[in-house]
Amino acid sequence: MLQDVSAHGSTNKGVVAARLGRYHAAADFGRAKIMASMLKSTGLVGGYTLLSRVLGLFRDIVLAKFFAPGPAMDAFLVAFKIPNFMRRLFGEGAFSQAFVPVISEQKSQGSAQDVKDLVDGVAGTLGLFLTVITVLGVLGAPLLVMIFAPGFHAEPERFELTVNLLRITFPYLLFISLTAFAAGILNTFGRFGVPAFTPVLLNLALISAAIWFAPYFSDPITALAWGVLIAGLAQLAIQLPALARIGLVPVPRLGRAKNGVRQIMRLMLPALFGSSVAQINLLVDTLIASFLTAGSISWLYFSDRLMEFPLGVFAIALATVLLPSLSALHTNKDPEAFSRTLDWALRLAFIIGLPAALGLFMLAGPIVVTLFQYGEFSAQDVRMTEISLQAYAIGLFGFTLVKVLAPGYFARQDTRTPVRFGLVAMFTNIVLNLGLVVYLVQSEYFAPHAGLALATSIAALLHGALLFRGLSRAGVYVPVKGWIGLQLRLLAGLGGMGAFLHFFSGELMDWQNVALAVRVVRLVLLVSGGALVYFLFLLLLGLRPGQFKAPTQSEPSV
């Protein structure tokens, strides 16, 4: 009898163990599938983003050729930055970070009708709010220019031009914010292609406006403002067929899915600030630059655009995929997979973000000369853009960390903690802005506008460090083993890449005295050669691409 009971107990244990084994295997397979899907989606978004960034560079080359850095270009950049900044707040910034976790939760736990009601309710509330903001923005354009570029008030012609341009560009906020809303729906359903392609349309519109339509305007810079507005309409229109295919074309209705809308608003209020610290810092740069030498805003713009190229191709693409994926893992209550997904993203951030920052810093002069020194863009413009680009390059890795780590908070519907970190970063930026500008005004070797870029970079590095520490202290992120070895390999690879670029880059004057074709070939060889040296060092030191596949078993921390 006892033997029978013992045997029966052993049998039960065996059945339980077998079931647990199948459960864990299924869970591991699910996690691996999510990670593989994320990697594929990141590649898709990165590919389209690369296309957009390449066209964006061509756009900036066209702008530099036809519109010299100066009062008119500064006026357009301010008129474009104001609605663009608000778009980051109400569109793909705070709104997306509040909306995506909520719709992901509704998709996972509710019915298809619940999802449709949420989409319609958000469309009604967001659309009404944005319409009111747009009307107020157009009517209050002079006040907005006074707030964001107070230095322009001393020059009535530049001030009036900026106001007129802003009245054309401001409605872009309405269209692009609704575009970001549509993109949030599509990304939640794994449709990343159309939203990633959408920015291409803005670049095409501005290129067309500069080359073909500007000559028809009494003030050619006005063509760029109309290009921005037309791009907003086109970017929204291209989302609609993709939404129709999943049956979620929004029908604006007030009062639908009240609880979901309130939840989004509750999450969005603190995120309005926390998710947009980098943009606020850049606007502070613009505000102070409006008091500096004419052209300072343009120099900062061109250098910021070059810094945004690697940031957009990799970090923003990765963050776009991370948020819905982490939201799904949080909804499914899988903290282990959540942590390992963050670890995977951080490793990619280190491997790609650090060499991008080093290369941008060391090749700042050759990049600016190759891309911009034609037509109206002078040698002085090259020098001023180069030093601010080097200052921004110092903070590129910080910007990357912020993009990768912020979804770790928003996916858990924690929008308050990043606000505290954002406040620290913003005040640091303001203090450094004032201090560095005052110091560099008295310097013979550097320009004050470069101090603005450097302050923004230091604030970004601090912001990224605070986000990392917060996730670690809360136990949300636990590093997987292998970080120490990875960091040593990265140091060796960066050292080899730096030596290669230093030896072969040459003097800036040598770049200025050769033809365009020579500049392009030489820059391509430097960039590809530096990347080759870097990755060869990593391979020789034992780093393999297979090490970044999705783990299927729990791994010990460092």
Q: Is the pLDDT of residue 31 over 60?
A: no
Q: Can you tell me the distance from the alpha carbon of 130 to that of 137, in angstroms, rounded to the nearest whole number?
A: 10
For the chain, percent of residues with pLDDT exceeding 90: 36
Q: Name which residue leads in pLDDT, 436 or 405.
A: 405
pLDDT at 546 over 70: no
- pLDDT given for residue 547 in this prediction: 61
The length of the chain is: 558
Residue 10 has pLDDT above 80, yes or no: no
The predicted model gives 481-508 an average pLDDT of 93
* pLDDT of amino acid 8: 45
Bigger pLDDT: 358 or 447? 358
pLDDT for 92? 61
d(C-alpha 89, C-alpha 66), whole Å: 31
| Residue 47 scores a pLDDT above 80 | no
Among 20-29, 163-172, 523-532, the least confident range: 20-29
Q: Which residue has the higher pLDDT, 305 or 392?
A: 392
Predicted confidence at residue 422, as pLDDT, reads 84
> DSSP secondary-structure letter at 248?
-
Please report which confidence band the pLDDT of residue 259 belongs to, taking 50, 70 and 90 as the band edges: confident
Exposure string over 387-421, b if 16+ CB within 10 A, otherwise e: bbbbbbbbbbbbbbbbbbbbbbbbbbbbbebbbeb
Q: Which residue has the higher pLDDT, 194 or 50?
A: 194
Residue 235 has pLDDT above 90, yes or no: yes
pLDDT for residue 21 is more than 60: no
- Is there a contact between 302 and 64 (Cβ–Cβ < 8 Å)? yes
The pLDDT score that the predictor gives to residue 264 is 81
Q: Stretch 466-494: mean pLDDT, rounded?
A: 92
Look at residue 548 in the predicted model and tell me its pLDDT. 60
Residue by residue, DSSP assigns 487-519 as HHHHHHHHHHHHHHHHHHH--HHHHHTS-HHHH
Asked if 283 contacts 81 with a C-beta cutoff of 8 angstroms, the reply is yes
Local confidence band at 443 (pLDDT 50, 70, 90 cut-offs): low
Q: With 50 as the cut, is the pLDDT of residue 29 above it?
A: no
- pLDDT class for 415, splitting at 50, 70, 90? confident
**pTM value > 0.85:** no
pLDDT tens-digit map of 130-148: 999 999 999 999 999 998 8
The larger pLDDT score, comparing residue 243 to residue 446, is at 243
Which of 25-39, 289-303, 399-413 has the weakest average pLDDT?
25-39
pLDDT, residue 296, reads 87
Q: Which two tokens stand for residue 482?
A: 């292998």
Using a pLDDT cut of 70, give the percent of the chain over it: 84
Maximum distance among all Cα pairs of the chain, rounded to whole angstroms: 103
Q: Cα–Cα distances in Å, from 490 out to 389, 527, 534, 539? A: 23, 18, 8, 11
Phi and psi torsions of 557, nearest 5°:
-80, 170
- The pLDDT of residue 407 is 87
Which of 510, 149, 146, 492 is closest to 297 using CA atoms? 149
Could you report the per-residue pLDDT of 103-118, keeping only the tens digit for each? 888 888 878 888 898 8
Q: Is the pLDDT of residue 447 over 60?
A: yes
Q: Which residues contact 347 (CB under 8 A, 6 or more apart)?
A: 486, 548
Q: What is the pLDDT of residue 435?
A: 84
Residue with tokens 């560099």: 440
pLDDT surpasses 80 at 317: no
Between 394 and 93, the more confident residue is 394
pLDDT at 9 over 80: no
Could you give the CA distance from residue 432 to residue 101 in angstroms, rounded to a whole number? 35
- pLDDT of residue 12 exceeding 50, the answer is no
Q: Residue 17: its pLDDT value, please?
A: 44
Q: Residues 445-465: what's their mean pLDDT?
A: 88
DSSP H stretches of helix in 363-480: 364-372, 379-394, 396-410, 416-441, 448-473
Whether 25 shows a pLDDT value over 70: the answer reads no
- Which has the closest alpha carbon to 76: 54, 59, 55? 59
Stretch among 9-13, 79-83, 364-368, 532-536 having the lowest mean pLDDT: 9-13
Nearest to 309 by CA among 82, 49, 40: 49
Instruction: Tell which residue, 184, 171, 85, 98, has the closest CA to residue 130.
Output: 171
Where is pLDDT greater, at 419 or 313?
419
pLDDT value at residue 15: 41
Q: Give the pLDDT score at 22.
A: 46
At 187, the pLDDT band (50, 70, 90 cuts) reads: confident
Question: Does residue 27 carry a pLDDT above 50?
Answer: no
194: pLDDT confidence band, cut at 50, 70 and 90? confident
pLDDT at residue 89, rounded to an integer: 65
State the Cα–Cα distance between residues 40 and 33, nearest whole angstrom. Answer: 11
Asked whether the predicted pLDDT for residue 234 surpasses 90, the reply is yes
Q: What is the mean pLDDT of the chain?
A: 83
Q: How confident is the model at residue 169, as a pLDDT? A: 96
